[in-house]
Amino acid sequence: MELLIVGGGHASVALFERARAWQQRGVSVTLLSDHPYLYYSGMVPEYLGGVYSSDEVRIDLKGWCQQTGVTWHQGRAVRMDPTARTVTTAYGSTISYDVAVIDIGASNPPPPPGAKEALVSTKPMHKIERLEAWLRTLPERTSPQHLVVAGGGAAGTELGLNIQARIQRTAPRQCTVSVVEPADRLIPSFPEGASQQVANLFAEAGGRLYTGRRVQHRTPTHAVLNDGTRLPCTQLVWATGSVGSPFWQRTPFSCTDSGFVKVIDSLQIPSAPRVFAAGDCAAVGGYTDLPRIGVHAVKQGPLLADNVDRMLQHLQDGKPPERAYQSAGLRAFKPYSVAPLILSTGTASGLWRAGSIWWMRPAALRMKHLVDLRWMNRYRLPDENTWPAWQAAHARCAQDSAR
């Protein structure tokens, strides 16, 4: 019996914890991902803000495979054939499966003309390493630099605030930071008061905000907005929301208008019950409008692991996959009715928000650090001495927050 995990995102890392038990039951497990590390999105803005190191914010997927006997395969999945039960990679190799889990995240909507090669995209998340490398060189640069973040949703705003804070500390006269948001305010999905406070923080730190406009194209020196405004731009970050991965277009599965694959509440693809899809890439039954946030992906993790476990058992018992939902008792995913989010702001305070309730306090940032470090700690490699690393990171966060 072969289990293939494609992507290894925030939802499917929960499967690692079962990998050994599955192998003992005769299941061979393979992970196919296009990058050896999974970057934990909750900590990435503060990583770029200089609070965390790269090893603190990423899970070593390849290392986990080595530790747990899972076959590691680095490559990009480009096609899936549910009849032959195979996934094909960009290099043309074909991997077969009895049960597959697809957790490949979302993509950013396409960038403007002239920008494709010259921008840093936030999806997949490992692309931000290019931005970190550029930020490290800022203090040595002699010419003025200009960072433009396209998209002032939660991700773009959190990136803008944290990068601005780092630049203030390390290269204050070296670089400007601008955020461009098509709506009339930052983080339009948040309550208005919260947007206003965040916009004030950004302005006080020296950030420049352009609302009601979008980046239309890029020249070698400027980002040009749709109203003709020309922003000097040496680095363009593309944080413009989520659409489905192009992968799904090369499958026969039914997708939403935004390109996310449709799954039932057990996270199975209805026409291919051996295939589970989870995280940002999947649109679940009655919850197709759920925001694409890691909170939902992480909540799906344990349920996904349970359902895959039951499906494997069901097939090993010689039963048909179509019947698994009822007879193997697969569980149904129910999202949080109100998903809480905490944003770091590049200051000593975090912004906590659930529905229409929000507050900005140092306690919110401390809570965020604890939640994030605890989650990451689960996925440190088993032989890592995690507790001192955890304490050190926590102490450093507390110091940074107090600045």
Q: Which stretch binds ligand FAD (CB under 6 A): 122-130, 214-222, 251-259, 381-389?
A: 122-130
**Residue 88 interacting with ligand FAD (CB under 6 A):** no
What residue has token string 């890392």? 13
Q: Which stretch binds ligand FAD (CB under 6 A): 136-144, 152-160, 162-170, 304-312?
A: 152-160
**Candidate residues 44, 99, 223, 261; the one interacting with ligand FAD per rule CB under 6 A:** 44
**Candidate residues 294, 305, 347, 351; the one interacting with ligand FAD per rule CB under 6 A:** 294
**Residue 181 interacting with ligand FAD (CB under 6 A):** no
**Residue 157 interacting with ligand FAD (CB under 6 A):** no
Residues binding ligand FAD: number (CB under 6 A): 38
Rank residues 155 and 223 by Cβ distance to ligand FAD and give the closer one: 155
**Residue 126 interacting with ligand FAD (CB under 6 A):** yes
Q: Which stretch binds ligand FAD (CB under 6 A): 19-27, 286-294, 312-320, 374-382?
A: 286-294
* Residues found in the chain: 403
**Candidate residues 18, 45, 85, 210; the one interacting with ligand FAD per rule CB under 6 A:** 45
Whether the CB-CB separation of 35 and 75 falls below 8 Å is answered with no
**Residue 240 interacting with ligand FAD (CB under 6 A):** no
Q: Of the candidates 337, 339, 314, 330, which has an alpha carbon nearest to the alpha carbon of residue 267?
A: 330
**Residue 34 interacting with ligand FAD (CB under 6 A):** yes
**Residue 122 interacting with ligand FAD (CB under 6 A):** yes
Q: Read off φ and ψ for residue 184, nearest 5 degrees.
A: -85, 5
Binding mask 322-341 for ligand FAD (x = CB under 6 A): -------------------x
**Candidate residues 31, 237, 263, 293; the one interacting with ligand FAD per rule CB under 6 A:** 293
Shortest reach from residue 343's CB to ligand FAD, in Å: 7
**Residue 146 interacting with ligand FAD (CB under 6 A):** no
Neighbours of 323 (CB within 10 A): 11
Rank residues 159 and 263 by Cβ distance to ligand FAD and give the closer one: 159
**Candidate residues 9, 182, 207, 346; the one interacting with ligand FAD per rule CB under 6 A:** 9
Rank residues 108 and 176 by Cβ distance to ligand FAD and give the closer one: 108
Rank residues 238 and 325 by Cβ distance to ligand FAD and give the closer one: 238
Shortest reach from residue 238's CB to ligand FAD, in Å: 10
**Candidate residues 14, 32, 243, 308; the one interacting with ligand FAD per rule CB under 6 A:** 32
Q: Could you list the residues that contact ligand FAD (CB under 6 A)?
A: 6-11, 32-35, 38, 41-42, 44-45, 76-77, 103-105, 122, 124, 126, 155, 158-159, 239, 245, 247, 279-281, 292-295, 297, 341
